[in-house]
Amino acid sequence: MRALLLLLLLLASPLRAEEVVLGLSRDTVSITTSFDGSEILIFGAVKREEPIPEGEPLQVIITVTGPMAPVMVRRKANVYGIWINQDAVEVDAAPSFYAVASTGPMREVLRDVEDLRQRITLDRVIRSVGAPMNIMDAASFTDAVIRVRQNQGLYQQLEGEVTLDEQTLFRTAIRLPANLTEGDYETRIFLTREGRVVSSYRTTIGVQKVGMERWLYEFAQENALLYGLMSLAIAIAAGWGASEAFRLIRQN
């Protein structure tokens, strides 16, 4: 009976004609005191059980998503010549880093309904459920998050940056900036035809502090008062040392 049920389930499950076989140049990124960014090479192949389908060519979309966290966005206004915070909206969840690369323009490789389902483009991956009743243009606050983080290199839209050879082998390079947040970075690969997702694959890249960076981070988290006092003592000692050095230079 169990064998019969298993056979029925296998027959009922659709076989995917195209699947992703993925590779990463590295699956961990170590943040040290001299860390100034890194580059991840993402490459792979399309596994097929039958010949390449005719019609629209295969397209590939690759995303890398950093840890999600809420973001408070404030808008300033000029009141009597003074710039002050006027409106504020909390974006419920925004990735600390996000890169989306594709084989072509996003409007050509992905349908809007698939984007809504998979949350692939920048404006879809950011979640903002609601805003205060007095805010009439809540979407502009989400746009502000995207604009600011794009300028910082934290949000990247890389249309046409995925190379696809013979509709089988694909590769791209994602630049990770120096100001990375520690955590797991989810990597997703989507295969699309005629704008529809036909296969997807997920894995993670670990980003963590090591060495002196790790020790200082853990010390600050576990001994906040002592860390603050130590930082104050170092600042006083550095200021006194600089003052004495200038005094000796003037005397000579």
Domain ranges, ordered by start, for the chain? 15-209, 211-252
Residue 220 burial by Cβ neighbours in a 10 Å radius (0-12, 13-18, 19+): middle
pTM for the full model? 0.72
Residue 106 has pLDDT above 60, yes or no: yes
Share of the chain above pLDDT 90, in %: 28
Structure tokens at 39: 């580059």
Non-local CB neighbours of 217 within 8 Å, separated by 6+ positions:
182, 209
In the chain the first and final C-alpha atoms are separated, in Å, by: 98
| Site of tokens 């010390």 | 219
Q: Are strands 28-31 and 196-209 parallel, antiparallel or unpaired?
A: parallel
Per-residue burial over 163-182, b if 16 or more Cβ lie within 10 Å, else e, is ebeebeebbbebebeeebeb
pLDDT value at position 12?
Answer: 44
What pLDDT score was predicted for residue 131?
61
According to the model, what pLDDT value does residue 115 have?
A: 93
pLDDT per position as a tens digit, 194-221: 999 998 999 888 887 655 555 555 556 6
- Average the pLDDT over 117-128 and give the result: 87
% of the chain exceeding 70 in pLDDT: 77
Evaluated on CA atoms 217, 221, 226, 227, the torsion sign reads positive
* Averaged confidence pLDDT in the chain: 79
**CA 114 vs CA 56, 119, 121, 189, 244: distances in Å:** 17, 8, 10, 14, 66
Q: What are phi and psi of 26, to 5 degrees?
A: -160, 145
Task: Reply yes or no on domain 15-209 having CATH 3.30.70.20.
Answer: no
Q: CA–CA distance from 252 to each of 241, 245, 247, 249 (Å)?
A: 17, 11, 9, 5
For residue 188, is pLDDT > 90?
yes
Mean pLDDT of 116-139: 78
* Top-confidence residue, 203 or 30: 203
Residue 27 pLDDT: 64
Instruction: Express each pLDDT in 51-100 by its tens digit.
Output: 777 778 899 999 999 999 998 888 777 777 777 767 777 788 899 999 99
Cβ(192)–Cβ(47) below 8 Å: no
Q: Quote the pLDDT of residue 109.
A: 93
Q: What is the pLDDT of residue 221?
A: 63
